[in-house]
């Protein structure tokens, strides 16, 4: 996604992948290697049982995403195998 001159990736993960700061950092690094996100800031996203998003990552990006409707995000689907 590109917003206000910043291009960044948003990756939907299970809530457990961003439970702690350490878990989130490990998850972000794992995706940087799998997908070509090496040079992009990565924001992790998870949804609760009501579909409400929670974001973890760079504070300015998280603050921006928290204020918009997730339907505005140009989602793309990637398949990743373990």
* Number of structural domains the chain divides into: 1
Residue 16 maps to a domain? yes
Q: Is residue 37 part of a domain?
A: yes
Question: What is the percent of the chain where pLDDT is above 70?
Answer: 96
More confident of the two residues 28 and 32: 28
On whether residue 81 sits in a domain, the answer given is no
- CA separation, residue 64 to residues 2, 3, 18, 26 (Å): 12, 9, 18, 23
Joined tokens for residue 21 = 């700061």
User: How much is the pLDDT for 79?
Assistant: 76
Does pLDDT of 82 surpass 70?
no
Tell me which residue range forms the domain holding 32. 2-72
The answer to whether residue 21 sits within a structural domain is yes
CA atoms within 13 A on the CB side of 35: 18
The answer to the question of residue 79 being in a domain is no
Q: Is residue 19 part of a domain?
A: yes
Q: What is the pTM of this model?
A: 0.86
What tokens appear for 2 in the block? 């590109």
């Amino acid at each position: 996604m590109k917003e206000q001159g910043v291009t960044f990736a948003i990756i939907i993960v299970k809530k457990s992948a961003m439970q702690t700061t350490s878990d989130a950092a490990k998850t972000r690094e794992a995706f940087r290697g799998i997908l070509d996100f090496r040079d992009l800031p990565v924001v992790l996203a998870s949804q609760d049982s009501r579909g409400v998003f929670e974001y973890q990552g760079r504070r300015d990006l998280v603050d921006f995403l928290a204020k918009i409707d997730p339907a505005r995000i140009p989602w793309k689907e990637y398949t990743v195998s373990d």
